[in-house]
């Protein structure tokens, strides 16, 4: 396929986005320069980011962290403010704090998300039977379950190198990264990135299960689960993060809640564990004891954003519904944290917060503490970083913040590449760009219209799959 070359000057660029009258002299000094349109949209599907995305040093995401305060999460606390406030229970899965569970149940009964859509689209009457049928069917096949700590699934047993009479796979860290990237994307992952477990990044691994059983790093040859501890070998130095998309079209105008992203992610999770086991490497399932958004920021998949419990991607916005994590001893080349301007853009945007029917998204500036007095009193959050934190007492886990993010734009128009490039190098137009999202009709849409437009095959909008 031949390249389409069209030289664009700074002045033409400003005209193209309708900003020719806003002080071209000053704007030209900060507007991006490129030679042709290929430079605007170019991005290697494996490792290279678009030109406007900067890589940062390891352990240094676009999030201010006080390493003297930031500690591993203790899940035995009565209230835990990572993604779900938890209480101690048996097994690896903890339950909601009773007060928060009751609060969320009340909010869910109020159906604020449905009322929000009715107010936004007066013709919308609420989910119909076919809407609920679609929503339920989207998760009806979610029967695989997730492999346990050791990566063992009740559904399969990987055939390792010895079972096939072959030597263990050997490759350079760079070759191995390319290998898992291609394999995981073949299974259905969208992004594959790697975080090395350093003394700092190990603090992202939770201290224990809800019942108090610790996760301990030790100089041993293999991972182990005993009656008293979960053992992670120190030689398992890498966390693979693979992301899976939510139903990209459906989540923006969902006639009813969708869990298809989790259904798809669990399928990919089983695929990747089988693959890693057959290759002859450790594949510790770390999804239950590491934070998705935290690892995403360290590995360069996402940046911390106002949406708080979600990491935001410059290419896919808030559409990553499943972000799997596997700890392995496979030698891998770590990927670096990124700066695509997202953390700066969120300061002015607030689209996700304004679209939250439950008012659970923070509207203020980044903080070291919690914006909510009630959650601050209970310390219902992780201390040690300056950022935004979800209002756990209010959020019933509806999907509006997933569908509302202005970075969800995909590749369907050149203007998205232009806007991303501009906001990455200068924040002066961020408020204008956030308003453009609504004016151009992106973000939340009338749920009734979903049934009448051309639906993408298998849930995923092809403009995102690059």
Q: Is residue 66 located within the same domain as residue 185?
A: yes
Residues 6+ apart with CB under 8 A from 384: 65, 66, 67, 69, 70, 71
Within-domain flag for 50: no
Structural domain range at position 1: 1-42
Identify the pLDDT of residue 402.
85
More confident residue, 223 or 83: 223
pLDDT at 44: 40
Give the pLDDT band (50/70/90) at residue 39.
Answer: very low
| 23 within a domain of the structure (yes/no) | yes
Contact by Cβ (8 Å): 427, 345: yes
According to the model, what pLDDT value does residue 226 have? 97
Using an 8 Å Cβ cutoff, are 426 and 29 in contact?
Answer: no
Do 330 and 444 share a domain, yes or no?
Answer: yes
* 5 and 92 co-located in one domain: no
Shared domain for 27 and 92, answered yes or no, is no
Averaged pLDDT score across all residues of the chain:
78
Pairing of strands 95-96, 191-196: unpaired
pLDDT of residue 233: 98
Q: Looking at the structure, do residues 192 and 259 belong to the same domain, yes or no?
A: yes
Residue 48 domain flag:
no
pLDDT value, residue 1 = 41
Query: Is residue 21 located within the same domain as residue 61?
Result: no
pLDDT in tens, 353-373: 988 888 888 999 999 999 988
| 28 and 91 co-located in one domain | no
For residues 319 and 429, membership in a common domain is answered with yes
**Residue 348 DSSP symbol:** H
The more confident residue out of 453 and 274 is: 274
| pLDDT score of 105 | 63
Say yes or no: 349 and 208 in one domain: yes
pLDDT in tens, 125-177: 888 888 777 777 776 666 678 899 999 988 778 888 888 888 888 999 999 99
Is the model more confident about 8 or about 54?
A: 54
Which residue, chain included where needed, has tokens 């799997």? 324
Kindly give, in sequence order, each residue whose CB lies less than 8 Å from that of residue 338, ignoring residues fewer than 6 positions away: 49, 53, 54, 55, 56, 61, 62, 300, 303, 314
**Residues 37, 63: one domain?**
no
187-217 confidence digits (pLDDT tens):
999 999 999 999 999 999 999 998 899 999 9
Nearest CA among 350, 315, 359 for reference residue 433? 350
Facing residues of 192 across strands? Answer: 242
Tokens for 462?
A: 């092809």
C-alpha to C-alpha distance for 452 and 449, rounded to whole angstroms: 5
Q: d(Cα 240, Cα 296) in Å, to the nearest integer?
A: 10
Place of tokens 């263990």: 168
Residue 426 lies in a domain: yes
What number of residues does the chain have?
466
Specify the pTM. 0.76
Sign of the dihedral defined by the CA atoms of residues 276, 47, 352, 122, in that order:
negative
Q: What angle do CA 59, 151, 381 make, to 5 degrees?
A: 45
Task: Assess if residue 298 is contained within a domain.
Answer: yes
Q: What is the DSSP string of 190-214?
A: SEEEEEE--TTGGGGS-SB-TTS-B
100 versus 2: the higher-pLDDT residue is: 100
> How many secondary structure helices (H) and strands (E) does the chain include?
16, 15
Residues 6 or more apart in contact with residue 334 via CB below 8 angstroms: 58, 194, 195, 196, 238, 299
* Direct distance between the N- and C-terminal alpha carbons of the chain, in angstroms, rounded to an integer: 16
Looking at the predicted structure, is the pLDDT value of residue 88 above 80?
A: no
245, β-bridge pairs: 320
Looking at the fold, whether 141 and 279 belong to one and the same domain comes out as yes
Is 455 domain-assigned? yes
Burial (0-12, 13-18, 19+ Cβ within 10 Å), 274:
buried
As for how many domains the chain has, the answer is 2
Please tell me the predicted confidence (pLDDT) of residue 456. Answer: 66
Which two three-digit tokens encode residue 386? 């300056």
The verdict on 256 and 315 lying in the same domain is yes
Q: What are the two backbone dihedrals, phi and then psi, of residue 191, each rounded to the nearest 5 degrees?
A: -130, 145
By 3-state DSSP, what share of the chain in percent is helix, strand and coil, each rounded to 5?
35, 15, 50
């Amino acid at each position: 396929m031949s390249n389409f070359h069209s030289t664009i000057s700074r002045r033409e660029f400003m005209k193209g986005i309708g900003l020719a009258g806003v002080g071209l002299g000053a704007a030209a000094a900060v507007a991006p320069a490129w030679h042709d349109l290929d430079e605007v949209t170019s991005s290697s599907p494996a490792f290279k980011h678009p030109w406007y995305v900067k890589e940062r040093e390891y352990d240094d995401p676009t999030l201010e962290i006080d390493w003297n305060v930031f500690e591993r999460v203790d899940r035995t606390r009565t209230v835990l403010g990572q993604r779900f406030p938890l209480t101690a229970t048996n097994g690896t899965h903890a339950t909601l704090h009773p007060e928060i569970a009751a609060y969320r149940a009340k909010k869910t009964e109020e159906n604020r998300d449905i009322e929000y859509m009715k107010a936004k689209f007066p013709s919308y009457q609420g989910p119909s039977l076919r809407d609920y049928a679609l929503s339920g069917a989207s998760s009806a096949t979610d029967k695989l379950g997730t492999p346990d700590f050791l990566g063992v699934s009740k559904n399969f047993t990987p055939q390792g190198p010895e079972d096939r009479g072959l030597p263990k796979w050997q490759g350079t860290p760079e070759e191995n990264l390319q290998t898992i990237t291609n394999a995981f994307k073949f299974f259905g992952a969208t992004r594959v990135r790697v975080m090395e477990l350093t003394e700092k990044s190990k603090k992202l691994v939770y201290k224990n299960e809800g019942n108090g059983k610790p996760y301990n790093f030790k100089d041993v040859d293999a991972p182990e689960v005993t009656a008293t501890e979960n053992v992670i070998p120190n030689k398992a130095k890498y966390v693979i993060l693979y992301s899976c998309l939510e139903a990209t079209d459906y989540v923006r105008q969902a006639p009813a809640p969708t869990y298809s992203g989790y259904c798809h992610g669990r399928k990919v999770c089983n695929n990747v564990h089988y693959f890693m086991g057959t290759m002859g490497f450790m594949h510790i399932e770390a999804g239950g004891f590491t934070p998705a958004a935290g690892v995403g920021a360290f590995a360069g998949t996402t940046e911390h954003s106002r949406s708080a419990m979600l990491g935001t991607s410059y290419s896919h916005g808030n559409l990553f519904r499943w972000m799997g994590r596997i700890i392995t001893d496979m030698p891998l080349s770590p990927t670096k944290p990124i700066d695509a301007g997202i953390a700066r853009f969120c300061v002015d945007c607030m689209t996700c917060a304004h679209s939250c029917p439950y008012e659970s998204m923070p509207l203020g500036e980044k903080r070291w503490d919690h914006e909510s007095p009630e959650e601050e009193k209970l310390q219902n959050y992780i201390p040690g970083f300056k950022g935004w934190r979800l209002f756990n007492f209010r959020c019933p886990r509806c999907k509006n913040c997933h569908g509302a993010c202005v970075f969800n734009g995909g590749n369907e128009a050149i203007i998205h590449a232009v806007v991303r490039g501009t906001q990455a190098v200068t924040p002066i137009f961020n408020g204008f760009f956030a308003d453009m999202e609504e004016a151009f009709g992106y973000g939340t849409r009338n749920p009734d219209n979903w049934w009448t437009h051309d639906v993408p095959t298998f849930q995923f909008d092809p403009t995102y799959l690059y």
